[in-house]
Structures are given as structure tokens and as C-alpha cells.
Amino acid sequence: MRASSRWRALPGARHRTPVIFSAISVISQRHAPRAQKLPGAVAQLQHQIAIAERESGHTAGQASRYPLTPDQIAHSHYTQRLAFDDRLRNDPRYPSVGIDDLLVERLRAAVAGRANDDELRELVGAQLDRFRAAGNLVAAPGSDEWRIAARALCIAELEALARVAERDEGDFSGAPTTPLIVNAQPPQDAPAPVNLSKLWREYVDTRTQAGFMRSGSRRQDPVIANLRKFLKHDNARRMTKADMMAWRDHLMKSLSAKTVSDVYLSTIRSLLAWAEDNDRLSENVAANVKQPKPRRQYSREKGYTDAEAQKVLKAATTYQPHIDEHGHIREKLCLVAAKRWAPIICAFSGARVTEITQLRKEDVRKENGRWIIRISPEAGSVKAGDYRDIPLHMQIINLGFIEFVQAANPGPLFHDATDTTKYSKRAAGISNRIGEWLQKANLVPDGVQPNHGWRHRVKTQCRELSISDYVADALQGHVGRTASDGYGDVTLATKIAAIDRLPEYDL
């Protein structure tokens, strides 16, 4: 194999085969982040590329967040080549492998512009793909920009081979001579990564301290986990609008438009808006990413009718658990109690069912001769955030609810959690079990939500009885719609008067 004149000018230059350098190319991609610590890795640019590679997750064709010019790409490749050469010289066999003059000639031809796209791809295609994956190159394969970057890499490869040949003879003082590399200006350091998971925890802590999200973030936590899994990284700074749109389209394959819009996209928009307002991120890339929702069409009223309500309440107040052949009840007593009492309390309060299933014994009290229940954030989840008192309807009292409460142990009435941090989750589980039971017993008509139907019914009843929406909202825990709704109070006496106007059920 005839050595080229350039390599013959270097005393004792040996011949490394293209196969050896192809293998080095593959290995160098795997070890580039660690290679920055070696003696040859002195350029600032290598640090940037190493960070980008560790946080890999961009796909080919995706808009680059930190694009590099051709000379910067060449400089990066050159310094990483020499850093990897340092690493390989720990093996004494490595300097004995020669440099192939055919490879040198092909690189020279490419630099001169005599190589077609396929030849360029064979020579430096793997390196181009690596820079693209790191987010530093967006040029389409075959384009003029792509060919310029490819030729720059060929120049860097030639320069690196020259240093390798010098090092084989013990000379480690060599420096690049090509103006493309000598005059390359290192880019500004890439901004430090912003950990998405940490950002979310900070956001939740801030909202909780401000009095929001009192029930915790258990509903939104899966949103963040889903986004991280989709992105394949945890750097919020690298997220783009294109990422958000792609994630939205991915979610639509398995979730409803309402869930995607109101839970997933809403959560990320709020998080990134907070991050932008607090200088954690420079922009909210999800601000204008929306998912249209079809307008829901109803074929009937949303709440229970009189007959439907009566049917459900008869089944609930007379509920008996199944007893097996051994005389054992295969159902927790707290769930049995929830099936008996939660529906009728909801029917006379319009409360959310989970607000009832999280009630504790201490939340039931007598005041001025009237029994009251308190919906308290201390017991679990309260959507509006504040406590509220609801007078019990006399029919509930006459059915024996107070005797049930007085006989109960302190703590939750309808679930058995002992850890207060688990109250919300356990109460929600009981609520779901009640809904499943009503559905399975064919007690819920189509178009009605088994538990939420009571909220619609109570609101309708209040309007029929000329009880103002302002009072009904105070009973049900609805937030006022206007600024004036925040003025004044709905007293307990006003609530009692409203509750007493609701008619009894024929049970």
C-alpha cells in the first residue's frame, strides 16, 4: 500500500485502516462525554457537545436548540478525535496500527468537492448524525448546507490524522493548520439544563404555599411522568413547541380530547407559564398548543329525575352487603356505610361525593340545636380550597345518621385510612366504588354520572324553589362567577332555611 506524500513527510508514519477508524468513530460517540476529561479535550466546544449528547433525545430533523456553524462542528470533531486518541494510547497495541493512505486520498477528494453525497455519507455520515442527534445540525441530507458540514468534517478528520501520525513518533506538540479550525469561534456555553421533575416539584410547593392545590398533585403527577417518557429526557429547557404538538397528537391516540385539553395540556401550560414568570425558562413553549374539544351533546337532563333519585336512595338506604355461605361479609364495613349514607347526604347537599366519603367523626357537630357537617381540607380534598358547613336535612337525621356517627370510632367514617396523607386517595377510591355499584345495579340512567348527578339535581331543585344560585353555590362549594359574589356571607341560618325547603323522599 503506497503512502501518500503528506504522510511520507511525517517520519515513521504508519498506516491505520479505514476499518479501524470506522470502529473508532462508533466508540467515540459512546465515550464522548467521558473523553472531555482527557488531556486532549481542552476546547470549550467539546463541553457543550458532551452535554448535548448526555441529554440526547432529539430526533433527526428536529429544530436545533444550539446550532453550530461548519467551522465549530469541525473544531469540535477535531478536539474529540484527539481526546479519544489519548484514551486509545493506553493500549500499547494501538500505535502499531497504520494510517491508510487510501482513506487520506478519499478525504482530500471530499475536501476538494469531488465526492458525491453517498461518498460523503460513507466517510462522515455517522459523525453528521451524531451532531444532528445532539441538536447542533439541522441541514437536510444532500443539501448545500449538509455538504458544507460534511466537507468541514473531512477537513477535521485530515487534521486529526496528521496529529495522530505525529503522536505515533512521540510528538504531541502539533496544532491544526487549517484556517477553518484555527479561526473557529467557540459558541456561547449552552444554558444549564432545567430539570423538569424538579421544576414541577417547585411549582407544586409554590402553589401549595399560596393556598392552592391543597389536595396535592396526584392528578397531575402522571402528566409530568407521561411527558418525560415521551420526550426521553428531563430537561425542560430543551422542550419546543414542536415537542408539545407531537406529545398532544400522541396523547390523542389513547385519551379523549377533553382529557388531553383540560388535564394534560392545561397542566403543562400552567407549569411553563409559572416557570417563565419566575425566570426559570425564557418562554412558555406550550402557551399556544391547544386541543379542540367537541361540544358535548346531551340527550336528557344532567341530574336525576324525581323517580330516578327515589330509586337510587331506596337502594342505598336499605343496602345489605352480600354474605357468603360461611356467614362472612365480604365487604368492608366502611364501604357498606358509604353506600348507605353517601348518596342521601349528596341528595340533600349537592356536595361532591368525595367530600362526603372523606368525612370524619369530628366533622359532624351540633350547633344551636341543629346538626351540621363540615367539609374540611384537613379531611381530604376540597376543590375550592376552603372549609364549608352544611346543615343536615331532617330526613337524614331521622334515618339514624347521628346514631351511626356516635357509634363510630374517631377518624374517617367511610374509609379506613390511618395516615392523613392517604385520606384523599382512599376517599376517592370509596367514591369510585359507590359509582361502580350503582352502575352495576342498573340504578343509573344513560347520560347521568352516578355520583355527580346529585350536584345537578340539587342545583335544579334550588332554582325551582327560588333559592338563589348564590346560596346554592355556598352549599355546594361552587366558586362565584363575578367579583360581587365574593362580598358578604351566606350564614348558617340562610343555609338551614334553604336545606329545610328541600322535600323529603318517599323511602
Residue 380: closest CA among 411, 338, 346, 405: 411
What cell numbers appear for 357 in the block? 366519603
Torsion of CA 90, 94, 99, 103, to 10 degrees: -80
Q: Which tens digit of pLDDT belongs to each residue from 262-314?
A: 999 999 999 999 999 999 998 999 999 999 887 766 677 888 999 999 999 99
Query: By the 8 A CB rule, do 312 and 304 touch?
Result: yes
Query: By the 8 A CB rule, do 240 and 286 touch?
Result: no
DSSP-derived pairing of the beta strands 388-391 and 364-367:
unpaired
pLDDT of residue 34: 39
Contacts of 26 (CB under 8 A, 6+ apart): 126
In this prediction the pTM is: 0.53
pLDDT of residue 383: 58
Query: By the 8 A CB rule, do 343 and 316 touch?
Result: yes
Helix (H, G, I), strand (E, B) or coil at 15: strand
Report the C-alpha gap between 280 and 257 in whole angstroms: 29
Highest mean pLDDT, choosing among 54-68, 287-301, 459-473: 459-473
Query: By the 8 A CB rule, do 316 and 344 touch?
Result: yes
What cell numbers appear for 117 in the block? 453525497
Q: Which residues pair with 323 in a beta bridge?
A: 329
In the sheet that holds 388-391, the strands lie side by side as: 364-367, 370-375, 388-391
Task: Answer whether residue 462 shows pLDDT above 50.
Answer: yes
The pLDDT mean for the chain works out to 82
Q: Which tens digit of pLDDT belongs to each residue from 6-52?
A: 343 333 334 444 333 433 333 333 333 433 333 333 334 444 444 44
Residue 134 pLDDT level (bands cut at 50, 70, 90): confident
Task: Answer whether residue 488 shows pLDDT above 90.
Answer: no
